[in-house]
Amino acid sequence: MRFFRSSADRGAYGHSRKLFVIARCLPFAALAAVVTIELSPVHVVYTGPLLSPAPALAAVTMGPLGTGAVAGLALLVSSTTATVNHAWGTQQVYANMAALLLVAIASVVSSAVRVRRTRELTQVRRIAEVSQNVVLRPLPTRMGVVMAASVYLAAERGAQIGGDLYEAMTTRFGVRLIVGDVRGKGLAAVRSAAAVLGAFREAVHYERDLAEVMHRCAAALQREYALLDRTTDPRHWEEQAEQFVTVLLAQVPDDATIQLINRGHPPPLIVQGGCVRTLDPTRPLPPLGLEEFLTGPPIATETYPFTAGERLLLHTDGVLEARNRSHEFFPLPETLEILDGATPEEYLDRLRQALVRHADGHLTDDAAMILIERTDTAPGIALPGEP
Give 164-183 pLDDT, tens digit per residue: 889 999 999 999 999 998 88
pLDDT digits (tens, 9 = 90+) for 317-371: 888 888 888 888 999 999 998 988 888 899 999 999 999 899 887 887 888 899 9
> H-helix or E-strand containing 371?
strand 367-374
> Stretch 280-286: mean pLDDT, rounded?
91
Q: Does the pLDDT at position 383 exceed 50? A: no
Q: Does the pLDDT at position 265 exceed 90? A: yes
Q: Does the pLDDT at position 156 exceed 60? A: no
Q: Are 161 and 136 in contact (CB under 8 A)?
A: no
Nearest to 289 by CA among 368, 127, 181: 181
**How does residue 233 score in pLDDT terms, banded at 50, 70 and 90?**
low
Q: Are 141 and 343 in contact (CB under 8 A)?
A: no
DSSP 164: E
Residues ≥6 apart with Cβ < 8 Å to 280: 267
DSSP β-bridge partners for residue 151 = 2, 369
> Stretch 28-47: mean pLDDT, rounded?
73
Q: Does the pLDDT at position 148 exceed 50? A: yes
**How does residue 234 score in pLDDT terms, banded at 50, 70 and 90?**
low
Can you give the pLDDT at residue 208?
A: 93
First to last CA, the chain: 20
Cα angle, residue 179 at apex, residues 178 and 183 outer, rounded to 5°: 130
pTM for the predicted model, two decimal places? 0.68
Can you give the pLDDT at residue 161?
A: 57
Q: Are 278 and 262 in contact (CB under 8 A)?
A: no
CA distances from 71 to 75, 305, 383 (A): 6, 72, 67
Q: Does the pLDDT at position 46 exceed 80? A: no
> Stretch 50-75: mean pLDDT, rounded?
84
Segments making up each domain of the chain, as ranges:
15-126, 138-374
What architecture is domain 138-374? 4-Layer Sandwich (3.60)
Q: Are 104 and 69 in contact (CB under 8 A)?
A: no
DSSP β-bridge partners for residue 373 = 147, 311
Higher local confidence (pLDDT), 53 or 132: 53
**How does residue 279 score in pLDDT terms, banded at 50, 70 and 90?**
very high
Q: CA-CA distance, 353 to 339, in Å (whole number)?
A: 11
